[in-house]
Chain A
Amino acid sequence: MTPVKTDILDTLENGVIITDKDLNILSWNRWLVVHTGISQEKARGQHLPELFPGTSFSILKRKIHIAFTLKIPAFTNASVEKYIIPIKLNKITKSIFRFMRQDSVITALDDTQAAILIYDATPLLEANAIIETQLKLVEKQARTDGLTQCYNKTMFNELLAIEIKKADRHDYTFSMIILDIDNFKSVNDTFGHLVGDYVLKEIATISAQSIRESDVFARWGGEEFCILLPQTALANAVAVADKLRRILAAHDFGAAGHQHCSFGVAEYSKDNQQSDLVRQADEALYYAKHNGKNRVAACLDDRKFILGP
């Protein structure tokens, strides 16, 4: 009968270190020779931490202690502990980590010897990192308006719903403004869509700069934008709208010259539905348009409107 091969550890595509309780190396396999450049002869008898100065082995020491005293396998996790043996990665393209990420299992073989098994988890963690980056990008895109880079209607509605809950719970109020560029269709017809887009972008930039940091500015769609003003009563929201109206009316939009906008303002009142608030602001906007444009109108009560200052 052929004798059983005992050097099977050298054929494994993962690291195996046999140590005593104090992390003195009794043996390590070929995988570690290849990845660390330290031969089996040189490693044998060495104190593991001394082979890698600058690397902390306190976690491994604790794991070994647990494995020996409790007789259960101890683990380290590539996404938490990152690695236990520092192995530099020389990958140039698409490289994310400087050191190989490792999972490991530490098992007591008997009362004196422990096996440390090391698995390369770099590809998995790299894939995770890429997915995470892309996910963040997709999440950002899902709440952003492509043209103006401000929030879109979906995001505005989500923030509005949160604001309603906050207002109900803490018993305070807030307001919203809808603004619409007056005669925007003629801008597109006269100067073309590129100029139209430029006007939209300029309005988004100027508006976002003119409001408080806690306010939310979003594109509602087409040439309509909206602003959410937390903890703001109607009169103050009207003042904010009128200030913005004047800034925009004074602005020079280059080829499109001077443009102006109409504003509808409404304040949230308890027990209103989200749709009621939006409708009130929208109807106030309609009122402003029908009363000469370039104006601010506020919804006082359901169906009662007043023109701004």
Chain B
Amino acid sequence: MKILIVDDTKLSRAMILKRIPENVKNSSKIFQGVNGREAVDLYKEIKPDITFLDLTMPEMDGFTALEIIRAHDPDAQVYVITADIQAKARERVLALGAKGIEKKPIDETRIAQILATIQ
């Protein structure tokens, strides 16, 4: 499985990475990006099975990246992991076609559940 993790802070990417179950980690290729632009470019290049995407990022934010990715691939499996817990942010992300939106910091069981839906 190919997993794409996009977040502008290293800590946040590391926190997601740490919570991915070992067995999944061993059988997957994991790619990382630091802003929305990289999310779009990496997505087109590697076509991941699942993408974890942050919203608040420099250069291009997660809303825009999500929109471009979904236009490019209507089947894209994108989960937003964000600190933006506004009700309206949630509505917007789901309207843009995200599979789900999770509040930071995300816990292990939730990550495992999400990954299980892909496999």
Is there a contact between chains A and B in the complex with CB atoms less than 8 Å apart?
no
Residues of A within 8 A of B (CB): none
